[in-house]
Amino acid sequence: MALISKGRIKGLDLKKEFRIRSMKPYSSFASPLAESLADKECFPYDSVPNFPVSTVPGHRGQLVFGLLDGVPVMCMQGRFHYYEGYPICKCAMPIRVMKMVGINYLIATNAAGGLNEKYKVGDIMIIKDHVNFLGFAGVNPLRGPNDERFGPRFPAVSRAYDAKLRAAAMRIGKEMGIGHQIQEGVYTCLGGPSFETVAELAAMKILGIDAVGMSTTYEVIVACHSGMTVFAFSLITNKCVTTYDEEVMPNHEEVIQTGKENEEVLKAFVSRIVQHITQNS
């Protein structure tokens, strides 16, 4: 989800480049947060020229524009993952569309497995940093010719996750009475779609990783490259299976179920962070 503000990127014309005028407003299904927006306009991904289409069960496929408690926002219902078969730059393309429509703040959320033993299912982990395993193998969304209109060839990402917003989110969590559920940690993105092996998780623990997923880092890199301010968090939807004798295996159903159970609290959390951003920017 992202906040729309003035100041579209110079030299880029969204209407011209994406023929946005040809997109038909559409509304059928929606996640509760996007559903709760006022004055919504929805655009299914397959109506946007050159846009990828989400193939993951539980991941919807439309862009939703509207007002969240009076603040103009753009939501993605359904994101793109490398394991779906798209090049990584295409997975991150919606972030560039956001930049082009004048967005300067990105709030990225994901479902992740809790590797840190202190984490419980249902915890919210504010992301303070990431380990981009895909990038270790050269799978970086900025690979290829650099488009200078968005940002520099070699962007720094060492402060990708805004420290002030992280602190504010921590405060907001406490004010909401969910302080005990809020964590702060390091997220990693794996290629997926297979979940991790026990040995892989043991290695990741040594690296200081707290939560494991298959998204977000490539979106954050692209947002950071184009100068957007980023806040991101993981909902810990399951505990990582770190021994060979656990009865339950990692599964997507548990991920979906935990997401559903926490919809309302996440919606309120995001809404309050959005209010904080508008009051402080």
Ligand X SMILES: O=P(O)(O)O[C@H]1O[C@H](CO)[C@@H](O)[C@H]1O
Q: Which of 255, 270, 274, 277 binds ligand HPA (CB under 6 A)?
A: 255
Q: Which of 213, 225, 231, 270 binds ligand HPA (CB under 6 A)?
A: 213
Residue nearest ligand HPA by beta-carbon distance = 113
CB hemisphere CA count around 170 (13 angstroms): 12
215: left (phi over 0), alpha (psi -120 to 50) or beta: beta
Q: Which of 172, 250, 262, 277 binds ligand HPA (CB under 6 A)?
A: 250
Burial of 34 (0-12, 13-18, 19+ CB in 10 A): buried
Retrieve residue 221's tokens.
Answer: 């890199």
Size of residue set near ligand X by CB under 6 A: 11
124 binds ligand HPA (CB under 6 A): no
Question: Can you state the angle between helices 252-261 and 263-279, rounded to 10 degrees?
Answer: 60
Residue 1 CA to residue 60 CA, distance in Å, equals 14
* Site residues (CB under 6 A) for ligand X, limited to 37-66: 56
78 binds ligand HPA (CB under 6 A): no
212 binds ligand HPA (CB under 6 A): yes
Give least dist CB 8 to ligand X, A: 27
Closer to ligand X by CB, 167 or 198: give it: 198
Give least dist CB 157 to ligand HPA, A: 21
* Site residues (CB under 6 A) for ligand HPA, limited to 93-122: 111-113
Amino acid occupying residue 253:
E
Closer to ligand HPA by CB, 116 or 238: give it: 238
SS3 content of the chain, % helix, strand, coil (to 5): 35, 25, 40
- By a kind-dependent CB cut-off of 5 to 8 A, residue 113 interacts, out of ligand X, ligand HPA, none, with ligand HPA
132 binds ligand HPA (CB under 6 A): no
DSSP H helical ranges for 176-248: 198-206, 217-225
Residue 37 CA to residue 101 CA, distance in Å, equals 18
Q: Which of 126, 232, 255, 277 binds ligand X (CB under 6 A)?
A: 255
Q: Each residue of 102-133: b (16+ CB within 10 Å) or e?
A: bbbbbbbbbbbbbbbeebebebbbbbbbbbbb
34 binds ligand X (CB under 6 A): no
* Site residues (CB under 6 A) for ligand X, limited to 64-123: 79, 81, 110-111
Give least dist CB 59 to ligand HPA, A: 12
Three-class DSSP category at 240: coil
